[in-house]
Structure 1
Amino acid sequence: MSQTVDRALFDEVMVPNYAPSAVIPVRGEGSRLWDQQEREYIDFAGGIAVSCLGHCHPALVNALTEQGNKLWHLSNVLTNEPALRLAKKLVDNTFAEKVFFCNSGAEANEAALKLARRYAIDHHHANKTKIIAFEQGFHGRTFFTVTVGGQASYSDGFGPKPGDVQHIPYNDLAALEQLIDDDTCAVMMEPLQGEGGIISPDLSFVKQVRELCDRHNALLIFDEVQTGVGRTGALYAYQGLGVQPDILTSAKALGGGFPIGAMLTTTEIAQTFKVGTHGSTYGGNPLACAVAETAFDLINTPEVLEGVQQREQWFREQLAAINAKYDVFAEVRGKGLLIGAVLNEQYQGRARDFLMAAADCGLMVLVAGANVVRFTPSLVISEADVREGMQRFEQAVAKVVAA
């Protein structure tokens, strides 16, 4: 007897920590999706900044197919060619000298935090364990990363949290100066806050964070899970800020939709992770690395990275035109194709209403908190898809305003 696969089945068989839409996509191509009823959607969400080349990009499909006919999994008792090639490309194109592969952004951040603690204890003293992070930050859902993330609603209710983690407001230099000391092992920050509302850092603030970390022998960790791999118009966001971290984490767009994460750092810091101190069963598996290498090669070109900046302008122009007509946004912020349209006072708390109305109009968007509509489309989305998607978004805005 066949089972009907619909939204009701989710409630029957899935743990209820998500509340997904009734829409169930079944196929995608480029920046378009089709659901079970063959209704078409334009995708401005990109799987939350993951589908950097859209859906089913032929080069990624080919890379996965080719590797799938060769080798899937080995374990880390052995290395493999795709992992070594991808690591070499990451090292050659960033500050880093060493790479650790895992399966997700949360795992990459977990590794970064463990490495920072271990490095501080090994090279300085046993009490150098304080981690400073930022309110409204987001670093994953492991207990360590969700504690370092600055949103208590995600970490409360699970019992005692990992200790010696403190939070300050983003862009608040005075607060950092007051809190950081010689017992601080690391400062962890997003170089553009994503889940917290698409908040850009002040350039002077980022530079001062780097200087304060140097002064107190603390490591600077950049969580580039969402901002990395072309999302802001640079390969990694730190390259557009003029500040180099000690540890960088990457995931999401790194695999173009195939799960992979990476932690990048220097040789000196990496030496702290001796054999057996950390690991990942699937990290660096040939399938993930083969797809990620292809995605990396396609994105790390002047044409694509400069094209991200051009596409940002398309979005900003279209959003400005919609706002001139309907007056719903206080500002549009972000960088590259990590864009947040901030709702004005009249529409506070209603970001999800805009998301739902957009879906009704055949458009996938995101939110970043209750007051920001977020756009993280493919980095190579066509101008025609941007314009048509924005026409659908205007219809959605009109529906919310008229409600």
Structure 2
Amino acid sequence: MSNSSVNRATFDEVMVPTYAPGDVIPVSGEGARVWDQEGNEYIDLAGGIAVTALGHSHPGVMAALQEQAAKIWHVSNVMTNEPALQLGQYLCENTFAEKAFFANSGAEANEAAFKLARRYSWDHHGDGRHEIIAFDGSFHGRTLFTVAVGGQPKYLDGFRPGPEGVRHATFNDAASVKEQISDRTCAIVVEPVQGEGGVRPADYGFLRELRRICDDNGLLLIFDEVQCGVGRTGRLYAYQDYHVEPDILTTAKALGNGFPISAMLTRADIAASFTVGTHGTTYGGNPLACAVARRVLELVNTKEVLDGVPKRQQRLSDWLEAMAEETGLFRDVRGRGLLMGAELAAPYDENTKAFVSAALEAGVLVLVAGGTVLRFAPPLNIPMPDLNEALDRLEAAWKALS
């Protein structure tokens, strides 16, 4: 139990009201379990929004942070540092990429990707070719540029005008993409699995067709793997599961298992357009973050962890399907790997938050996506007994609620 003098009311007193956090304040965690200020225990099926891929207080990740903390924390980008170079090497050796750029958040990685796409097009095609095609329901971050590219207009309300040169097509509909292409198009950006948009996986054929469209029209294909990357689908990155290689890929969230870091990955010929001074970040490539991220990747990118993802996915999806059939709570169950969504059926979809609150009361953390979808993104290595216990708790709570 915490002896802290701060509580949920403190948030309303001192924090800008951009969030509406629940009453529970977690103060410690281990593995897939966390404890709040009152000592109550919860099983974490949310993963800090698909971030804590290895769970809480993982000893290997903590050791990497502690080892680096005793060496050097920050040097800025006036100089490079060993952890950044080692992380860059690892990513280039284990993905399609030949070059890496490090930042601090998914939004920053996407901002860099969109800027690079425009700069590359400017270098090779001149001024007029700058438009980016994205998809309805997509989410790419909260900067003004990334919000404009994202396919959820509500996030631009009150902030217009957003940056120009963005078009939106229909997710999983290649024909709608072709209708948007013009001599002004430079790139297409897609999430292999839309997270915030309701846990909607891309069809395999759809991503293959996007690759063909880009090749035929000289466009860059950008994969936003901020939420679905780093083992979430059972491969290190989702593009490896889809067997479709992008030109640029962004990764964040689970990359640091909770320590802020992101990366933009690309080929050398494309990276060449980011010459000295064209883009930058003070904290990007921070030694602490890079040391942690490399250890996270080394731990996730193992047969034990990656092969365990589909086994846990099967248990979770079987349970969700059974609940849907028995109670009528869900009208659709979907996802890839351990990024799963259960869309509530009417009339339950009118009060999604009630199901999240009931889960919390039962000692389980879950998420919402797309307004009416219950989202699950547990640690990739969640012990099966913990997963089974969490589902037992949810079943009792949600049956009582329905």
Q: What TM-score does the superposition give when structure 1 sets the normalisation length?
A: 0.97
The corresponding residue for 2:397 is 396
Q: Does 1:69 align with 2:70?
A: yes
Deviations, residues 242-292 of structure 1 (Å, cap 9, x unaligned): 111000000001111110000000000000000111001000111001111
Give the match for residue 221 of structure 1: 222
Who is 2:108 aligned against? Answer: 107
- Mapping 1:52-63, distance limit 5 Å: 52-63=53-64
**Aligned residue number for residue 10 of structure 1:** 11
Please give the alpha-carbon distance, in whole angstroms, between the structure 1 residues aligned to 2:400 and 2:64. Answer: 42
Q: Answer yes or no: is the 8 Å Cα contact 1:103–1:282 preserved in 2.
A: yes
Percent of aligned pairs sharing the same letter: 57
Corresponding residue SS for 1:119: helix
Residues in 2 aligned to 1:223 and 1:367: alpha-carbon distance in whole angstroms: 20
Matched, 1:279 2:294: no
8 Å Cα contact 1:231/1:337 also seen in 2: yes
In the alignment, the residues of structure 2 paired with residue 182 and residue 308 of structure 1 have an alpha-carbon distance, to the nearest angstrom, of 42
Q: Which residue of 2 aligns with 1:316?
A: 317
Unaligned residue ranges in structure 1 (runs of 5+): none
1:352 and 1:370 in contact (8 A); partners too:
no
Give 1:11-160 correspondences, 5 Å limit.
11-160=12-161
How many residues are treated as equivalent by the alignment? Answer: 400
Which residue of 1 is the match for residue 190 of structure 2? 189
Cα shift readout 1:8-67 (whole Å, capped 9, x = no counterpart): 100000000100001000000000000000000000000000000000000111111111
- Distance in 1, matches of 2:365 and 2:4, equals 27
Q: Quote the Cα distance in structure 1 between the aligned partners of 2:352 and 2:207.
A: 29
Q: Would you say the 8 A contact 1:101–1:260 is kept in 2?
A: yes
Equivalent position amino acid for 2:147 in 1: V
Per the alignment, residue 245 of structure 1 pairs with 246
Deviation per CA, 1:139-186: give whole Å up to 9, x if none: 000000011000011112113110010111101111111111232111
| Secondary structure of residue in 1 paired with 2:200 | coil
**Matching residue of 2:168:** 167
- Structure 2 distance, partners of 1:198, 1:101, is 26
4+ residue segments displaced more than 4 Å: none
Structure 1 vs Structure 2 CA RMSD: 1.1
Please tell me whether the aligned partners of residues 182 and 216 of structure 1 are also in contact (alpha carbons under 8 angstroms).
Answer: no
Provide the rounded CA distance (Å) in 2 between the counterparts of 1:311 and 1:369. 23
Give the superposition deviation at 1:3: 7.7
Q: C-alpha distance in 2, partners of 1:22/1:179?
A: 45
Q: Do 1:182 and 1:217's aligned partners in 2 also have CA atoms closer than 8 Å?
A: no
Amino acid at match of 1:282: Y
What amino acid does structure 1 have at the position aligned with 2:185? T
Q: Check the 8 A contact 1:260/1:288 in 2, yes or no.
A: yes
Structure 2 counterpart SS, 1:349: helix
Tell me the SS of whatever aligns to 1:145: helix
In the alignment, structure 2 segments of 5+ residues that lack a partner are none
Find the aligned partners of 1:3 and 1:144 in 2 and give their Cα distance.
39
Inter-partner Cα distance in structure 2 for 1:59 and 1:240: 27
CA distance 1:320–1:3, change in 2 (3 Å): closer
Map of 1:254 onto structure 2: 255
Higher alpha-carbon deviation: 342-351 or 97-106: 342-351
Alpha-carbon distance, 1:234 to partner: 0.8
In structure 1, what is the Cα distance between the partners aligned to 2:46 and 2:400?
A: 20
1:205 is aligned to 206
Preserved contact between residue 27 and residue 33 of structure 1 (Cα < 8 Å): yes
Partner of 1:182, secondary structure, is coil
Amino acid in structure 2 at the alignment position of 1:208: E
Q: Write the letter of the residue equivalent to 2:270.
A: I
The SS at the match of 1:348 is helix
Contact 1:357/1:399 (8 A) holds in 2 = no
Q: TM-score, normalised by structure 2?
A: 0.98
Deviation at 1:350, TM superposition (A): 2.5
Matched position secondary structure for 2:76: coil
